[in-house]
Amino acid sequence: MEYLMKRLFLASLLSAAVLVVTGCTAGSGPTYNAYSVDWRNGARIYRAECHGLFEGASTCMDVARRICGDKPVQVIDRIDVVRTADDQRSDPRVLHFKCGEAPSNKAPAETGAVAPQTATLENFSLESDALFPFGKSSPESMLPAAKARLDEIAARIRQHEHVSAVTVVGHTDRLGPESINGPLSLARANTVRDYLVAHGLDGSIIHAKGVGSSEPRTHCAEGDARALIACLQQDRYVSITVEGRK
């Protein structure tokens, strides 16, 4: 009788062990179940339940990575296993996750119309000696040939449909103090500007400035005064730059 009881007890233990192992194999594998579920906001996500005799330290995350393939795992919720103080494993018992990058918190870039870019449409350079007598800048002193040339320039500018700015810059040579050259260069630029406005151009987009002798184009050696004045002729000029859309 005692022998029979021992055999029955041993058989019951083996049956229990088989039931436990069989329970671990339910679903997707020997140590986990994994399936898709509807989350709180109605989104479709995955749920991995890690359990059983063969549970490893990273079972649930391994399952998630296997399901997501080459996409990153986005953890939504986790329920960790209660372990002893000596057990430092961090693998969760239940893991809810999605596959793919987490949504960015950056605000979408505004897709407004791109502002058209401006470019230089025309560049004109007029020697001051052809515009004014030496040292002069008034409209009354402007030479007849200069007026004819400015008429041509005004007509050229009017041919452009999208002019946004016209800049008139007066230049002088280095002879004389800057206290004279600066105002002289500005006065000549203003005279040219006023002439263009008087001949049909929009005064609101035409700007004049004088830079005196700060932007020379020649390198003349000191010497005879008359020869030096002739050499510095290229430094006495008025430039006109037209900008806009082509």
For range 206-216, the mean pLDDT: 93
Looking at the fold, whether 151 and 93 belong to one and the same domain comes out as no
Q: Which of 1-10, 78-87, 131-140 has the highest mean pLDDT?
A: 131-140
Measured CA to CA, the distance from residue 161 to residue 187 in angstroms comes to 29
Residue 141 included in any domain: yes
Which pLDDT does position 10 carry in this prediction?
41
For range 195-205, the mean pLDDT: 93
pLDDT > 50? residue 12: no
Q: What is the DSSP string of 55-87?
A: --TTHHHHHHHHHHTTSPEEEEEEEEPP--TT-
Measured CA to CA, the distance from residue 33 to residue 49 in angstroms comes to 5
Residue 112 included in any domain: no
The per-residue pLDDT for range 143-180, each reduced to its tens digit, is 999 999 999 999 999 999 899 999 999 999 988 899 99
* Helix (H/G/I), strand (E/B), else coil: 178: helix
Residue 127 included in any domain: yes
Is the CB of residue 31 less than 8 Å from the CB of residue 54? yes
CATH number at residue 166: 3.30.1330.60
Whole domain around residue 202: which residue ranges?
119-244
Number of domains in the chain: 2
Which pLDDT does position 6 carry in this prediction?
42
Looking at the fold, whether 150 and 202 belong to one and the same domain comes out as yes
Kindly list the distances between the CA atom of residue 223 and the CA atoms of 136, 177, 226, in Å, as whole numbers in the listed order.
24, 18, 9
Residue 104 included in any domain: no
Name 145's bridge partners: none
Measured CA to CA, the distance from residue 60 to residue 47 in angstroms comes to 9
